[in-house]
Amino acid sequence: MRILCLHGRGSNNDIFKMQTAGFRSQLDDFEFEFVQGTVQHAKEGWAIHTDTFANSGLWEYYDLLDPYNVIETEQELLQLVEDDGPYDGVLGYSQGASLAAQAIIRFAVENPTATADQFPFRFAIFINCPTPIRILEMDEKVEPDIPKPEESDAALYMMLARANPLLDSQALFPARLANGRRVLTDNTVGLTKADPALDGQLIKIPTLHIRCPEDKEQFGREAYELCEKSVARQCFHHHDHDFPRGYDEMRAIAKQIRSLAEGH
């Protein structure tokens, strides 16, 4: 059983191996393969263990404010799976989870007649998964429209605009499409979050959503809503956006992963 593993933003393979060691040790018949991001991340000390492993370099998979880089990274992940696969599943935490979801969505949109065995993964495990990003071709020209603080997406766009001083992001401006959808755009492409109300359930393969129900909806709940409910399951922890921890939680996660992978 081969599982592709994608770490969180501002992290690295060393950190992710340590974070997942507790449940991986109970899945010793599984093969976990780690792929590290290549975009340098500023040292912020924003998560447990980040400072400890800072000498290993802190990385992310794409520049959140460069839609062309997002597209390129999704395509590169799908190419990696084609070249080095097959993989049974994908395991992602935070940005790694959203990247995995985005690649699955991209494949589904670009291959609408694909059968289940043609998908890059049979199943996906999302830990604290931020709402996946979608890059849309702009069919309409729009003017800047700054979100009001009381709007539900205002905090999300503020988070997306959190600059990484090591990156040189493209110049995007916030706007609203005719259907009401919020985007960050250069009037060629629009960067937006996937929305089940507008997009439907984009992920049809079996999924496991490991998340904190007390965390913001954009860090797990919205990703769950994008998945086919008949094959989506959830496993809750209570550490907000931090990684789950403790023997009981690791044991429960391992049990859920095995059940998902074996189709029980």
Domain harbouring 230, CATH code: 3.40.50.1820
**Cβ atoms of 218 and 193 closer than 8 Å:** yes
Q: Output the pLDDT for position 121.
A: 98
Dist CA 241 CA 217 (whole Å): 11
Q: How many domains are there within the chain?
A: 2
Dist CA 94 CA 115 (whole Å): 28
pTM: predicted TM-score of the whole model, two decimal places: 0.90
Q: Output the pLDDT for position 50.
A: 53
* 31 and 125 share one domain: yes
Rg (CA), the chain: 18
In the structure, how many helices (H) and strands (E) does the chain have? Answer: 7, 12
* 72 and 187 share one domain: no
If we measure between CA atoms, which residue out of 46, 35, 25 comes closest to residue 79?
35
* 116 and 35 share one domain: yes
Which DSSP state fits 148? P
Indicate the SS3 state at residue 227: strand
Burial, 173: exposed, middle or buried (Cβ in 10 Å; 0-12, 13-18, 19+)? middle
* 147 and 83 share one domain: no
Q: How far is CA 198 from CA 6, 42, 83, 193, 242, in A?
A: 27, 34, 33, 10, 29
Catalytic positions: 94
* 143 and 199 share one domain: no
Q: Which residue among 155, 174, 192 closes a domain? A: 192
Which DSSP state fits 236? E
* 104 and 162 share one domain: no
Dist CA 244 CA 132 (whole Å): 21
Q: Output the pLDDT for position 195.
A: 94
Dist CA 122 CA 205 (whole Å): 6
Dist CA 146 CA 148 (whole Å): 6
Q: Which residue among 192, 214, 229 closes a domain? A: 192
* 104 and 31 share one domain: yes
User: What b-and-e string marks burial along 239-263, b requiring 16 or more CB atoms within 10 Å of the CB?
Assistant: eebbbbeeeebbebbbebbbebbee
Enclosing domain of residue 169 = 137-192
* 16 and 141 share one domain: no
**Mean pLDDT (10-residue bins), the chain, 264 residues:** 96 95 97 96 58 72 90 98 96 98 97 93 97 94 78 60 51 86 90 93 97 91 96 95 93 98 89
* 105 and 188 share one domain: no
* 100 and 161 share one domain: no
Indicate the SS3 state at residue 164: coil
If we measure between CA atoms, which residue out of 257, 260, 199 comes closest to residue 226?
199
- Please state whether 200 falls in left (phi above 0), alpha (psi between -120 and 50) or beta: left
* 201 and 83 share one domain: yes
Dist CA 200 CA 203 (whole Å): 9
Q: Output the pLDDT for position 6.
A: 98
